[in-house]
Structure 1
Amino acid sequence: MSGWRPGDRRFDRASMLRVNQAGEYGATRIYAGQLAVLRRNSSASKLIARMDGQEQRHLARFNALMAERRVRPTVLQPVWNIAGFALGAATALLSEQAAMACTDAVETEIDRHYGHQLDELGDDDPEFAADITEFRAEELEHRDAARTAGAAQAFGYPVLTATIRAACRVAIGLSKRI
């Protein structure tokens, strides 16, 4: 990666991969925090466990691509470890609906983020684009499942989701570069 600079297409792909891996890692930490708090056999914990399995698969794929393409992870990963778990645990402590609102907010931003990446990639990297397309569809399934499970019934839903979405945008921006 030495000699890469912003604007260089190789840099852009590395940045995309870095932020995607960080996002999937953060999602697994959010779900870990929620599962640590929620009752084991509740409908919410079963749904979250299923979504977490998909996020783990996404993370494994991006980890493999990072190794293959020799892209370093974000140095903020220890922060996302703690912040993700704390966000998951805090929303689950509020209520099952708040945990679902968290998923709704995060997946809404991820859909937006993956959409921008697909637009930028065009036909330049079909393998990477195929992964993003597949994972984006699953993230939308998570968002829709969270909404069906009562996300909008969470106390303070508009403020809660707006705050989480803003935090996601900040995390995305930082993870691209750092």
Structure 2
Amino acid sequence: MTLTPAERLSAIRIAKVNHAGEYGAIRIYAAQIAISRWFWPKLADRLAELKAHEITHCRLFAQALAERGGRPCRAMYLWSTGGWVLGAASALFGQNMVWTCTEAVEDTVHHHMTDQLTFLRNRDAGLHDLIESIRAEEEGHLSLARQEKTRTTRLTRAFEAVIRGSVEVVIWLSTWGDSTRMRRDLRGAA
């Protein structure tokens, strides 16, 4: 199927934001691992496994972006710095907050990937299949976080809200608002 110029641009923006998001996840895990190595070495080892997945995802999205003629996101510094700060803050508050962070990020990303898959279904089979395969692994991260999270408190709920809001803002900035338009168009088509 031939994409319209607007659909092609949306596919590039999807690959771009997913590449940036995976880079942000790498930075979150890097900060969490650095702090956890001091206090909870076993947690650091588990986080290193998750980080390895994100490194692979980042590489795959970088390839998909290049194949579509796109360039990395202009807001990479937000993903990098924000990811590191978020990872460090969550780790400083303890293991439960690390899993709270993972749950909030993965759940927010899951919703965006669902929208992306719906949009790409009959437009870009290669990118659709890539996102589908990565989403399955990300769902495993979400499931693990929910399993490991020991309690929900006012602090964890507040932290989750900040994380979700921050991720939404950076996604919106990274797609130049395409994420909002895509979600609106998909709801209108349903």
TM-score (ref. length: structure 1): 0.90
Structure 1 CA distance, aligned partners of 2:42 and 2:137? 19
Note if contact 2:78-2:170 (Cα within 8 Å) is conserved in structure 1: no
Counterpart for residue 27 of structure 1: 25
Structure 1 CA distance, aligned partners of 2:150 and 2:80? 24
SS in 1 for 2:122: coil
Counterpart for residue 35 of structure 2: 37
Counterpart for residue 186 of structure 2: none
Counterpart for residue 68 of structure 1: 67
Q: In the alignment, residue 147 of structure 1 is paired with which amino acid?
A: R
SS in 1 for 2:47: helix
Tell me: CA distance 1:120–1:31, structure 2 relative to 1, closer, same or farther (3 Å).
same
TM-score (ref. length: structure 2): 0.85
Give % identity: 34
Q: In the alignment, residue 121 of structure 2 is paired with which amino acid?
A: G
Give 1:74 shift: 1.2
Counterpart for residue 76 of structure 2: 77
RMSD over aligned Cα, in angstroms?
Answer: 1.9
For structure 1, the 5+ residue unaligned runs are none
Q: In the alignment, residue 14 of structure 1 is paired with which amino acid?
A: I
User: In the TM superposition, what whole-angstrom CA distance separates every residue of 1:57-87 from its partner, at most 9, and x where no partner exists?
Assistant: 0000011112222201111112221111111
Q: Detail structure 1 runs of 4+ shifted over 4 Å in the superposition.
A: none
Tell me: CA distance 1:23–1:151, structure 2 relative to 1, closer, same or farther (3 Å).
farther
Note if contact 1:28-1:56 (Cα within 8 Å) is conserved in structure 2: yes
Give 1:124 shift: 1.7
Structure 2 CA distance, aligned partners of 1:121 and 1:48? 31
User: How many residues are matched?
Assistant: 173
Counterpart for residue 124 of structure 2: 125
Q: Is 1:94 matched up with 2:76?
A: no
